[in-house]
Amino acid sequence: MRNGETEFVSLSSIKVTPGVHVEEVCVVQLFQDVFSLEIPGFPPIREVEFFIDLHPRTGPISESPYRMAL
């Protein structure tokens, strides 16, 4: 932060309501052909696993992803 400037950070959260079934969600009702009723199982094992190389003693970046434009 620079002197005399104001910055804002907004955090949001989602409240999960117990007892709500997937079929009751409006988006699922509109796109029933996209959502499968059965889960086919785990994805197949791949030859190449994806991973990110991390440098030793590297910590997570805790910065706001976007700066607010004025």
Q: pTM of the entire structure?
A: 0.27
Give residue limits of the domains in the chain. 21-54
User: What is the token pair recorded at 32?
Assistant: 């029933």
From its phi and psi, is residue 57 left (phi > 0), alpha (psi between -120 and 50) or beta?
A: left
Maximum C-alpha span of the chain = 56
Q: For position 49, what pLDDT does the model report?
A: 75
Residues 2-61: tens digit of each pLDDT: 677 888 888 888 887 777 777 777 887 888 777 777 777 887 888 887 778 888 888 877
Q: Scanning the structure block, which residue is given the tokens 């700066």?
A: 67
